Structure 1
Amino acid sequence: MPSKSKSKSPYKFSYTDAIQGKELYNYFGNRVLESRASSGRVVAVKVKPTEGFARSEADMMHYASQQPGILAPQVLGCYDVDPEITVTVSDLVEGDSLDNVWHTMTKEEQKSIKEQLKEQLRLFQQCTQPYIGRIKRQETRNFYDRIHFHFMGPFESEEEFDSWGLERVKSPIAKKIWARLLPGMRGAGEQKFVLTHGDLAARNIMVKDGKITGIVDWEYTGFFPEYMEYALATVIHDCPEDWWKPHLKEILEPCGYKRAKFTAAIKWRGW
């Protein structure tokens, strides 16, 4: 279940700043509004059902925004505005989402965007933790369940994470096969898990004048093995942006055939 901690907020605004505004985005009920705080500052207000939200999402986006060079919006506040709705207030990222402008770009402009995204991923991988989860050892969104809002972790090791995943394999025969294969699929030596955005869809990449201005929607973020960004982009997400997947495969480091197959084996679409 998502954390409902009422501890003192580290952010700067009160819930009264999370007001109605111009709708910028609406994806399966997750809305983003452009609003203006009482100070006059223009902000983005992300509105989500409280049931499907964990405050650790805001904590992770705040963490990412504080890392040198990472283009995550700065979080200004996170509030329950009524028993069923939670809002996250952040800086408004300038520009257009990449899905709206990619096909108007020249080949050189597209190449530049991909290089910029590679640099963002390099910066992500410089941010590490010795466990799988979110900062302060908080749980992460269970992205293997595609239709429910469940959470998972934290996990102290890749072995523990794989063992949790193995329990999701329904076929007893397949479970035995994966139990033999998984030890050889894990990295050796000291384990460090890297900052992972988790949903690098083109709609979540903001651009202006040929430059990436921000990466938004950190719902699936956490610290994971390096393969996870690729696995999420190519196996987990049923992305309507099929045209974007080949470009992501060029940008991201492949996770390997066996790891992709195991990821697919524990994904559950609900049917």
Structure 2
Amino acid sequence: MQRGWPGNAFWHSCKTTFRKIMSCTIPMFRRLWLYFPRRTHALTYRLLLQVGNKMYGRTLDWVQRVPFGLYIKHGPGKFVPRGEGPALKLVEQYTKVVAPRLIDLLTTESKTYLVMTRIPGIPLQEAIQSFSYAERSQLAADIRGCVSQFRQIPNPNDAAICSADGGPTFDYRLEDPAGPFDSEEAFNKHVIFRKSLRSAIHDHRHKIFFSHADFSPTNILVERGKLSGIVDFGCAGFYPEYWEYAKGIYGHFGLETAWPGSLSDAFSGLYKDELAAEKLLWENGNSF
């Protein structure tokens, strides 16, 4: 399955072992870092952002790779959703999904800094066309396993549908921020902007689960033909069970079938009616 993928297998194994060792030190480092003053944190992050920009260049205005195997998401609140830090904490506490580990969440008068660990790999969108059918099948199985773990995360909040910290959802599909919502029916009233677009499936009561809510080939990382991690939990929160699949499909249907096909396999072909209802809403203008 890995035939044709570049890189030395021994070196890859060494890097994997090193990453595992480093991940074990994260809790200790976080505890030690908390003893330093907030001002020291802010000054350190500004310095790291400058160094990271010179070393790695800038991909996005609000996300920067920096030294020591870290990334910093920074800027006003709209660039650093309030629920992203709590979401990362929940994922670390309740799952074994490979995702960024939260180092610090610091809010100053003008800016928020979300400091997290870097996940190895490249975005799936850069590699999926090179995947064999066997690799795509394994990718779907691995994503299915991640979703299963996400669904084991308990909702610690009073609201049913909300961000990870119980506040409004941050989701471009919902013209954020939206909610929080006490029920799926309240959620549907927000989503369905015209009665004629209500589908029969909207009368079905779905279970509410923790969801990444932004599955996209840009947020799924792969390495040597395998899933290596999931990043960008800015939209994460508690949503109806179909939301993870429907959001992952949005913008990726049409002639290109590799990603929609893999995601459908990951969800075992479920939620076709829900996807059809969502497409009807998207096509009539209620989309991000």
TM class by shorter chain equals 0.7 to 0.9
Which runs of 5 or more residues in structure 1 are unaligned?
A: 1-8
The structure where strand makes up a greater share of residues is: 1
Which of residues 95, 100, 110 is equivalent to 1:73? 100
Between structure 1 and structure 2, the one with the greater Rg is 2
Q: Any residues of structure 2 matched to 1:184-195 within 5 Å, and which?
A: 184-187=203-206, 192-195=207-210
Of Structure 1 and Structure 2, the greater helix share is in 2
2:227 is equivalent to residue 209 of structure 1: no
Gapped regions of structure 2 (runs ≥ 5): 1-29, 35-40
Aligned with 1:97 (options 117, 123, 128): 123
Q: Secondary structure at the match of 1:244?
A: helix
8 Å contact from structure 2 (residues 80, 112) kept in 1: yes
Does residue 1:257 correspond to 2:273, yes or no? yes
Partner Cα distance (2:92, 2:254) in 1: 28
Q: Output the amino acid matched with 1:244.
A: W
1:34 alignment partner in structure 2? 65
8 Å contact from structure 2 (residues 83, 237) kept in 1: no
Are 2:283 and 1:268 aligned?
Answer: no
May I ask how many residue pairs the two structures share in their alignment? Answer: 240
Normalising by structure 2, we get a TM-score of 0.70
Moved more, 48-57 or 111-120: 48-57
8 Å Cα contact 1:11/1:75 also seen in 2:
no
1:228 & 1:15 partners in 2: Cα distance?
Answer: 36
Question: 5 Å matches for 1:145-156?
Answer: 145=174, 150-156=176-182
Q: Partners of 2:187 and 2:73 in 1: how far apart?
A: 30
Partner residue in 1 for 2:170 = 141
Conserved 8 A contact 1:96-1:208: yes
Return the match for 2:81 from 54, 57, 67. 54
Query: What secondary structure, in the 3-state scheme, does the structure 2 residue paired with 1:202 have?
Result: coil
Q: Residue type matched to 2:168 in 1?
A: E
Corresponding residue of 1:164 = 190
Contact 2:83 2:165 in 1 (8 A): no
- What do the CA deviations read for 1:38-62 (whole angstroms, capped 9, x no partner)? xxx3211223443443221221122
1:117 lines up with 2:107 in the alignment: no
- Write the distance in 2 (CA, Å) between the matches of 1:107 and 1:128: 35
- The separation in 2 between residues aligned to 1:67 and 1:217, in whole angstroms, is 18
Secondary structure, counterpart of 2:162 in structure 1:
coil
Asked whether the equivalents of residues 199 and 218 of structure 1 are also in contact (C-alpha less than 8 Å), the reply is yes
Write out per-residue CA displacement over residues 113-157 of structure 1, whole angstroms, 9 at most, x where no aligned residue: 221111111111222437111234222114325xx6x31111121
Tell me by how many angstroms 1:74 deviates: 0.6
Alpha-carbon distance change, 102 to 182 in structure 1, aligned in 2, over 3 angstroms: closer
Question: Given residue 198 of structure 1, which amino acid in structure 2 is its aligned partner?
Answer: A
Could you tell me how far 1:223 is from its partner in structure 2? Answer: 0.7
What whole-Å deviation, never above 9, does each CA across 1:16-48 have from its counterpart, x for those lacking one? 34222044773xx45432212xxxx32112234
Q: CA deviation at 1:239?
A: 7.9
| Residue 209 of structure 1, CA deviation | 3.4
Structure 1 residue matching 2:66: 3-state secondary structure: strand
> How many angstroms apart in 1 are the aligned matches of 2:108 and 2:216?
29
How large is the Cα RMSD of the aligned pairs? Answer: 3.3
Q: CA deviation at 1:256?
A: 3.6
Residues 223, 241 of structure 1: alpha-carbon distance in 2 compared, 3 angstrom cutoff? farther
CA separation of 1:88/1:23 partners in 2, compared to 1, >3 Å: closer, same or farther? farther
